[in-house]
Amino acid sequence: MISKEDIIKRFVSYVTVDTESDAASNTTPSTAKQWDLANALVDELKAIGLEDVTIDKHAYIMATLPSNLDYQVPTIGFISHFDTTPDFTGANVKPQIIKEYDGKDILLNEKENIVLSPDYFEDLLQYKGQTIITTDGTTLLGADDKAGITEIVSAMEYLVKNPQIKHGKIRVGFTPDEEIGRGAHKFDVAKFGAEWAYTMDGSQIGELEYENFNAAGAVVKVKGKIVHPGYAKGKLINSMRIASEYMNSLPELEVPEHTSNYEGFFHLHNITGEVEETVLEYIIRDHDKNHFEARKEVMHKLTNELNSQYGEGTISIEIKDQYFNMKEKVEPVMHIVDIAEEAMKQLGITPLIKPIRGGTDGSQLSYMGLPCPNIFAGGHNFHGRYEYVPVESMIKATEVICKIAELVGQKK
């Protein structure tokens, strides 16, 4: 049995280390403090009995659980990231452990009256009677993705201690900077040496994902002309007003707050402006590759139309692809999803196979030659003060890892 106390202790030891990444940095890892947890993980992997434990100059960690079989099976891997998002502070995390959750409001912070309520976060009611770990309302928790690391390390420790569970060679990988889109950028797939892998980076129990958004980032720059407003007639060009026209010309319902499931969107996530220049920063998302390309074309076409109205060069746009839907790379090897699905079923977990409305290291890794579906890690409400994780979900995720290893080991 996986020990609840050990899972809690391990998870808390990880989340109380600040590993927030920084998109403005050009180093890898993007913040020096990520080394604190990375180095501790290296020591822990060695201590639990893994072999070939390495950490490179960019803080990518790899380790091996050797096969205990007398025949060959594919080498598989499990991967998680140790950075946390810069969207909300991850410094001085103070986890709160709620035992036998009663289904009512959880007061996270009495002083600031911060409440985690099932009236707003209805998923909480799934975990009535379970042990839930929350924040104190002033930070994120870091279950994204320290729950995943907890589960992988705990599963490897369990397999080491229980050699009667037969398995092939298993590789473990932990990465920095996933939250700023760079988690797989310097991942050495050849060195990792697995035929396929799984990221433990999903949300609620049962999630199993092999589809994600195609993603791009767009920067729209609008040029204006500053003239004294008292004498501006026919001369002043207010870039902010033109930028507003640009924003309002995109489909108003194709935004995150009005879309779900396979529906894509345009998302304006940052704007800076004054009369002479306004900069709009968008992300573009769609599961369908043709729709994705059409969205980029819509933005180019709108740029051209407004330039024909206000003068060539008034608006410029730069669009850069970020990652693509891993479905294209996973579908030819669907047995790797089938194995994870079967593992869940054997453990009494109902698989929730659905598209990721976001990205994952697994997307980039799949295009780098390492097919990599995503499995639940158990957390909810990532990237904010209301983040929580049920301990029982982390235990189940740990059991899924062990069961996948066992199932692969049975396939001569």
For 151, counting Cβ atoms within 10 Å of its Cβ (0-12 exposed, 13-18 middle, 19+ buried), the class is buried
Q: H helices of 162-238, where?
A: 189-192
Are 21 and 125 members of one domain?
Answer: yes
Are 176 and 302 members of one domain?
Answer: no
Are 234 and 251 members of one domain?
Answer: yes
Three-state secondary-structure class, residue 123: helix
Which pLDDT score, from 0 to 100, does residue 1 have? 79
Final residue before a domain boundary, out of 323, 346, 366: 323
Confidence of residue 412 (pLDDT cuts 50, 70, 90): low
What's the mean pLDDT in 63-90?
A: 97
Are 58 and 180 members of one domain?
Answer: yes
Q: Kind and range of the H or E element at 394? A: helix 391-409
Per-residue pLDDT of 21-70, as tens digits, reads 999 999 999 999 999 999 999 999 999 999 999 999 999 999 999 999 99
CATH of the domain at 181: 3.40.630.10
Tell me the whole-structure pTM to 2 decimals. Answer: 0.90
DSSP annotation of 269: E
Are 51 and 140 members of one domain?
Answer: yes
Final residue before a domain boundary, out of 260, 291, 323: 323
Residue 357 is part of which domain span? Answer: 4-211+325-409
Only one residue has tokens 């904010």, namely 384
Are 283 and 400 members of one domain?
Answer: no
Are 233 and 369 members of one domain?
Answer: no
Which pLDDT score, from 0 to 100, does residue 360 have? 81
Are 160 and 300 members of one domain?
Answer: no
DSSP annotation of 53: E
Three-state secondary-structure class, residue 335: helix
Q: In angstroms, how far is the first alpha carbon of the chain from the final one?
A: 27
309, pLDDT greater than 70: yes
Are 75 and 191 members of one domain?
Answer: yes
Per-residue pLDDT of 96-126, as tens digits, reads 999 999 999 999 999 999 999 999 999 999 9
CATH of the domain at 225: 3.30.70.360
Domain count along the chain = 2
Per-residue pLDDT of 219-245, as tens digits, reads 999 999 999 999 999 999 999 999 999
Only one residue has tokens 């369990």, namely 158
Are 60 and 15 members of one domain?
Answer: yes
As a whole number of angstroms, the distance between CA 131 and CA 136 comes to 16
What's the mean pLDDT in 272-280?
A: 97
Are 349 and 295 members of one domain?
Answer: no
Count of other CB atoms within 10 angstroms of residue 277: 15
Which pLDDT score, from 0 to 100, does residue 9 have? 98
Catalytic (active-site) positions: 83, 178
Q: How far is CA 94 from CA 13, 131, 137, 216, 399, in A?
A: 11, 16, 9, 35, 27
Q: Which pair of structure tokens corresponds to residue 62?
A: 């790899």
Are 97 and 135 members of one domain?
Answer: yes
Per-residue pLDDT of 344-398, as tens digits, reads 999 999 999 999 998 788 999 999 999 999 999 999 999 999 999 999 999 999 9
Decide if 307 contacts 314 (C-beta within 8 A): yes
The set of residues, in sequence order, having a beta carbon less than 8 Å from that of 48 and lying 6+ positions away, is 153, 156, 157, 160
Decide if 72 contacts 65 (C-beta within 8 A): no
